[in-house]
Structure 1
Amino acid sequence: MNPSTGRMLTRVKSIYIYIRQNGTVSTSELVDEFGITQRTIQRDLHVLAYNDLVHSPSRGHWTTTERHKATVAK
């Protein structure tokens, strides 16, 4: 695996775990927490949303999906 791909996957996983642990979070909170650009956070959130792991209940805020929460609880 390409080293940059590995870093991206690690970052996306960390973002998902952060959202899961903190409930609904804002995009700007993620930018501050991870120290990366807003555009990078948006790309990472797009990956998570595409895989139905997070969704945006209101513009600029993110939470984990209910379907995935139920799967994790089993």
Structure 2
Amino acid sequence: MNQSTSRMLNRVKAVYLFIRERETVSTTELAEEFGITDRTVQRDLNVLEYNGLVQSPHRGVWSTTSKKVKIS
């Protein structure tokens, strides 16, 4: 795995853990917390949503799902 892929996967994991800890967060909060653009946050959220780990019950607000996750 190349360095940029590894960095992206680490960021996606960190985003997931941040959402899980806070229960609900906005896209803007995530961008500010991780120092990345809204577009990058949206790409990361798309990965998490595709895998059934997060959901957006209200536009721009995210929370984790009840799907079980093993974090290593």
Question: Into which bin does the TM-score normalised by the smaller protein fall?
Answer: over 0.9
TM-score, normalised to structure 1's length? 0.90
Aligned residue number for residue 21 of structure 1: 21
User: C-alpha separation between the residues in 1 aligned to 2:43 and 2:49?
Assistant: 10
In structure 2, what residue type is equivalent to 1:20?
Answer: R
Amino acid at match of 1:36: I
Q: Gaps (5+ residues) in structure 1?
A: none
Moved over 2 A (4+): none
Q: Which one has a bigger Cα radius of gyration?
A: 1
Q: What aligned pairs does 1:1-74 form with structure 2 within 5 A after superposition?
A: 1-66=1-66, 68=67, 71=68
Distance 2:24 2:57 in 1: 9
Measure the CA separation in 1 of the matches of 2:57 and 2:32.
Answer: 20
Q: What are structure 2's unaligned runs of at least 5 residues?
A: none
CA RMSD of aligned residues (A): 0.8
In the aligned structure 1, how far is the partner of 2:55 from the partner of 2:29? Answer: 16
Q: CA deviation at 1:41?
A: 0.2
Number of matched residues? 69
Distance in 2 of aligned mates of 1:15 and 1:3: 18
TM-score, length of structure 2 as denominator length: 0.93
Q: 1:29: Cα distance to partner?
A: 0.3
How far did residue 21 of structure 1 move?
0.3
Return the structure number with greater helix share. Answer: 1
